[in-house]
Amino acid sequence: MIAALWVMVGISLLLGAVLGFSAIKFKVEGNPLVEKIDAVLPQTQCGQCGYPGCKPYAEAIAKGEANINKCPPGGEEGIRKLADLLGVEYVPFGEGAAPKAKAVAFIDEQTCIGCTLCLQACPVDAIVGAAKQMHTIIASECTGCELCVAPCPVDCISMQPIGEDITNWKWNYPTIPIVQAPAR
Amino acid sequence: MRPLFKFHGGVHPATHKAESTRTPIAQAPIPSKLVIPLHQHVGNRAVPVVQVGERVLKGQIIGKPEGRLSSAVHASTSGTVNAIDMQLVAHHSGLPDLCVTLIPDGKDEWIAHSGVDYRQTEHTDLRHLLRQAGVVGLGGAVFPSDMKSYSHKHKIKTLVLNGAECEPYITCDDMLMRERAADILRGAEVLRELLYAEEVLVGIEDNKPEAIAAMQQAVLDDKHAHMEVIAVPTLYPGGGAKQLIRVLTGIEVAAGVRSTEMGVQCFNVATAYCVWRAITFGEPLLSRIVTVTGNVEHAQNFEVLLGTPVDELVALAGSKPDTDRHIMGGPMMGVDLPSGSVGVTKATNCIIESSPKLFPPPPPALPCIRCTRCADVCPAELQPQDLYWYAKAKDFGKTQEFHLFDCIECGACAYVCPSQIPLVQYYRFAKSEIWQREREAQAADLARERHEYRLMRIEREKQEKAERLAQKEKAALAAKAASPAPAVNPEPALVNAAADPDDTLQMRIDAAVARAKAQAATAQPKNVNTLTPQQQAEIAEIEARRAKIREMAAHAGADDEPPKSN
């Protein structure tokens, strides 16, 4: 009886030591879930979720502080992927948070006064320019976050929707057209 | 007799080739206008190098190649550039692309051009010539030929010349081989030289006995060594590069592997012909053979200038009035043209005039009954019914697991499907969705990287600023300690010195004030050097008034009373 007790105590101490050692040895820096959530988010860094960028939103989701339907640029597919990843139910977008068509910012270079305010607002450094020099957008790097639109004192920045052309055109999902049956 | 091999599957659709092979290739006249797309090849779109209103000569470059994978575009005849704008092009999307519209002057005046002897020219120069001559694969893939004629990475043993032309209705390669066999084989010699290939195998489907005979005769006439013309069984899609390589050499080109890695390179016969013209005569790719067939009075092959509007081309063959659409390419893989105004491109091997009688609209698709006939005929040995299942469910990960990207979109599966399911449409839909997601993922990665770099940069700048300030303060303190007598304080202290025990803030303010004063004292107004006495008198008066106001303000400020009005 006593011997069995000692054996059990001995085993538990040994296993405890192994677990304690591995907890220190194989410690994971940061929350790996945050990285996974961040990989799903579209990285527009637009702040429409109420957090200053995609990573902070990912951290908030990981902590359970934020809902998964706060990212309009990610679209409904984004919500579905997050729901899959986190094992939660799909949540539709709230009022007024519907996704918009993809767009890039455009600076009217005639009106630009070179104030650099948009440069400071751009989260991905997609605007080129300097003080009292005309600014312009690097369209290929613009995420369409609209953060540069508000700071412009002369309202020379507009959002131009990305049209469909031969390079980004997609095949449609095959559908069967429904036609009126001939009258008998 | 060389042993031949078999590829998996394949179908036997009615060939309909006899209609367009009764008469020789006819020269199509110069049309009223040419609509020449600048993106006729795989890779980057050519950049226009002509101006609207400019006169161009036949063979002049109007679009120069951009980047590594690109090809030049030329004026097909002499004339005036009428427009460089977005025009409808031969593409599944029916969307416009950048085109040069040329109004021919009818003189057909050549630009100065001359060829080289390929045996005495560096291979790099030959490849450059091909690129500048706009030579691309004319079998339909339009891949720039200069990029295919390398052999430095892998030893190329066999050059396969593709004259199979397996798709129904199309006979342009058949007629070219019958009429211009010698030039095709000379082009093949140039390519063999470029690739250091040991042998050239010309594969021609056995439903073209005249072409086979002509090519075999040309091999004998020109005494081409290491060259063999081989009749292969007629089986669609035997003209696919992987399928023809399999039949001729027995080599199975694995998924995700290029045939060059297995020592085989494949060119179309028409491409070889163009290579010969481009190298030996300096003639860029300006025209190609196009089969006009289907719902026409007399189906025929025409040598057509690139950019010729399809409407004008089909009129030559007598398009019948009940034609409802034009198909570019064959009935299995062809593109429905969005309009008859689109120009013939380097990829246009055939125009089929379609009528409801010839190609009745497909009946509605019925549910898949999993008969697996599609799997029996798939030349890529895929499971089309599974691909369909997952593409329909938009489960794109699974489609990739089932090797969607090995599908060559030949349409054999849809051809045999008893439920008439448009299978290829589903595969194309899935492929373009996957490409779209890849583009989005790449853009997101780029944005993440740039955002993280920006955050790091802002943090670094903050740190650097703090360090600079700390150093300055240290220097100022050291200076103060060195000279015990404090700087003269001409102005009353504005800052509570007790809040800043080291006095550094006050010291900095004092220094700045002193600097500003010194600057003001040295600065002289530059517009008072040459003044009339009258102007000087006016200035003196204004200065006096200002001094008075200043005095009054100072007085009022001191007494805390409003200044008296004068």
Got the DSSP string for B62-128?
EEE--SSS---EE-SSSEEEEEEEEEE-SSTT--EEEEEEEEE-S--PBPP-----GGGS-HHHHHH
Q: Out of A124, A165, A168, whose CB is closest to B454?
A: A124
Mean pLDDT, chain B, integer: 90
Q: How high is the pLDDT of residue B431?
A: 95
Beta carbons of B447 and A43 less than 8 Å apart: yes
Angle between helices A32-40 and A75-86 in degrees, nearest 10: 160
Beta carbons of B451 and A45 less than 8 Å apart: yes
**More confident: B217 or B524:** B217
A178 confidence band (pLDDT: 50, 70, 90): confident
A175 confidence band (pLDDT: 50, 70, 90): confident
Q: How high is the pLDDT of residue B499?
A: 52
Choose among B171, B126, B164, B158: nearest CA to B145.
B126
Long-range Cβ contact pairs of B114-121 (< 8 A, separation 24 or more): B114/B281, B114/B282, B115/B278, B115/B279, B115/B280, B115/B281, B115/B282, B115/B283, B116/B279, B116/B280, B116/B282, B117/B280, B118/B190, B118/B193, B118/B279, B118/B280, B119/B193, B121/B279
Domain ranges of chain B: 18-26+123-354, 362-484, 486-517
Shortest Cα distance from B374 to chain A (angstroms)? Answer: 18
Beta carbons of B97 and A166 less than 8 Å apart: yes
Percentage of chain B lying above the pLDDT 70 cut: 93
Q: Out of A124, A169, A171, whose CB is closest to B451?
A: A124
Which chain A residue shows the shortest CA-CA distance from B426?
A174
The chain B residues in contact with chain A (CB within 8 A) are 39, 89, 91-93, 95, 97, 364-365, 394, 422, 425-426, 428-429, 431-433, 436, 439-440, 443-448, 450-451, 453-454
Shortest Cα distance from A112 to chain B (angstroms)? Answer: 23
Q: How high is the pLDDT of residue A28?
A: 78
What's the mean pLDDT in A17-33?
87
- Tell me the pLDDT tens digit for each residue of B546-558: 999 988 888 876 5
Best mean pLDDT range from A89-103, A159-173, B302-316: B302-316
- Angle among Cα B190, B196, B202 to the nearest 5 degrees reads 60
What's the mean pLDDT in B341-348?
94
What's the mean pLDDT in A25-40?
86
User: Which ipTM score applies to this complex?
Assistant: 0.83
pLDDT beyond 70 at B491: no
Q: Which residues of A touch B93 (CB under 8 A)?
A: 164, 166, 169
Q: Which residues of A touch B440 (CB under 8 A)?
A: 42
Best mean pLDDT range from A66-70, A95-99, B457-461: B457-461
Which chain A residue shows the shortest CA-CA distance from B421?
A174
pLDDT beyond 80 at B492: no
Name the class of domain B362-484: mainly alpha
CA B241 – CA B256 distance, rounded (Å) = 14
Interface test with chain A among B451, B455, B458, by most A beta carbons within 10 Å: B451
Q: Which residue has the tokens 């109004």?
A: B103
Task: Provide the token pair at B269.
Answer: 């016969």
Q: How high is the pLDDT of residue A58?
A: 92
Beta carbons of B450 and A164 less than 8 Å apart: no
Q: Which fold has domain B18-26+123-354?
A: Rossmann fold (3.40.50)
What's the mean pLDDT in B262-291?
94
CA B40 to chain centre: 9
How many angstroms separate the Cα of A44 from the Cα of each of A83, A103, A114, A150, B293? 20, 11, 24, 16, 51
Structural domains in chain A? 32-86 (1.10.15.40), 103-161 (3.30.70.20)
Q: How high is the pLDDT of residue B530?
A: 74
**Phi, psi dihedrals of residue B304, rounded to the nearest 5°:** -115, 135
Task: Provide the token pair at B316.
Answer: 């030559």
Beta carbons of B93 and A45 less than 8 Å apart: no
Structure pTM? 0.81
